[in-house]
Amino acid sequence: MSGWNASDIPDQSGRGAVVTGANSGIGYVTARELARAGARVVLACRSAERGGAAVDRLRAEVPGADVEFGALDLGDLGSVREFAGTWTGRPLDLLVNNAGVMALPYGRTADGFETQFGVNHLGHFALTGLLLPSLLDAAAPRVVSVSSGLHALANIDIDDLNSEKQYRRWVAYGRSKTANLLFVHELARRAADAGLVAAAAHPGYAATSLQARGAQMEGRKGAERFYEVGNRVFAQPAETGALPTLHAATAPGVRSDDFYGPRVMMWRGAPARSWRASWTVNDVAGERLWAASERLTGVTYEGLKG
Ligand SMILES: NC(=O)c1ccc[n+]([C@@H]2O[C@H](COP(=O)([O-])OP(=O)(O)OC[C@H]3O[C@@H](n4cnc5c(N)ncnc54)[C@H](OP(=O)(O)O)[C@@H]3O)[C@@H](O)[C@H]2O)c1
């Protein structure tokens, strides 16, 4: 894995991929490098304008790229169902659950879930479950979920998944990123006999639009500036931040429930196996989150062992 970079991605010709939140940041680079390696890639984005612009930009950067826009708002289960409905009948080789929001002011999704838990975890839980038949039709399917080193901020609270007792934005982010890792842990167990590899990745600290979004929503100019300077001084580019995702998505030898991140202090550099908090490999917590996610989304995973 030493110094692994985008030029090490194996040929992806004939493979079909969906990347959520692919109009910017890590998702865009992930989609572009998969397409450069020959994959057919759907950029699943909530805005037709931003998604369309990303497709145009990608085609300009990778002439001949086989890419298209797909409308997907992870904060609306109706939109998730519509997107998944467009996929029936085709095998899906790779699903990259990348889209995310961080430390937003309190809000709710269209279905009433706290926004960070709803978008980062529940939307992707529903999407993966609805796309499962297409994934299981593929020869060597993979699901990669993009978590964060900041999962270490908080374990989930199974009795208050929507942070209704108390909302602290960073705790809620940490919980949603812990949920991403517990989801992969439980999916890996359930899919072990089905030939599906479920892995996770995180980008370390990468300069994207993620950091300043909450401050922008609240018009907090000072905080926005703080994040801009932080990104310029401390962050690595999205190009490098996407490498752990690309490694988890394409490298041979990736095993179910692996978690990749930048090798230097979980912050920057080439991909390596990453540390994760012990609560993200807790079987009981994984099963309880799974059961709650099925109940909240109404999506069950047919065809996998329980
Ligand atoms: N950058 C970092 O340092 C860092 C560190 C740890 C983990 N991460 C994780 O990396 C992932 C990618 O983030 P990024 O850093 O690349 O940030 P980004 O540039 O802000 O990208 C986030 C993407 O998610 C999309 N998104 C947000 N809400 C959505 C929804 N309801 N439905 C569909 N798409 C939605 C955004 O779309 P819009 O443009 O329409 O908002 C955007 O395309 C996230 O899961 C994040 O938690 C990033």
pLDDT value at position 267?
80
pLDDT value at position 220?
84
* Segment-wise mean pLDDT, segments of 10 residues, the chain, 306 residues: 87 98 98 98 98 98 98 98 92 98 95 98 98 96 97 97 96 98 98 95 90 78 77 85 97 97 85 96 98 98 81
Coil, strand or helix at 293: helix
pLDDT value at position 2?
60
The answer to whether the CB of 121 is under 6 A from ligand 1 is: no
pLDDT value at position 228?
77
* 46, 73, 83, 116, best to mutate for ligand 1 pocket (most atoms within 8 Å of CB): 46
> If DSSP states are collapsed to H, E and C, what string results for 16-53?
EEEEECCCCHHHHHHHHHHHHCCCEEEEEECCHHHHHH
**Residues across the chain:** 306
Q: Which residues are catalytic?
A: 173
**For residue 183, how many C-alpha atoms fall within 13 Å in the half-sphere facing its CB?**
30
The answer to whether the CB of 26 is under 6 A from ligand 1 is: yes
pLDDT value at position 1?
54
Coil, strand or helix at 155: coil
The answer to whether the CB of 124 is under 6 A from ligand 1 is: no
- Cβ contacts of residue 27 below 8 Å, gap of 6+? 19, 20, 21, 43, 96, 98, 99
Residue written as token pair 């993979």: 142
The answer to whether the CB of 21 is under 6 A from ligand 1 is: yes
Q: Quote the pTM value.
A: 0.96
In this structure, what is the dihedral angle of CA atoms 246, 251, 253, 255, given to the nearest 10 degrees? 20
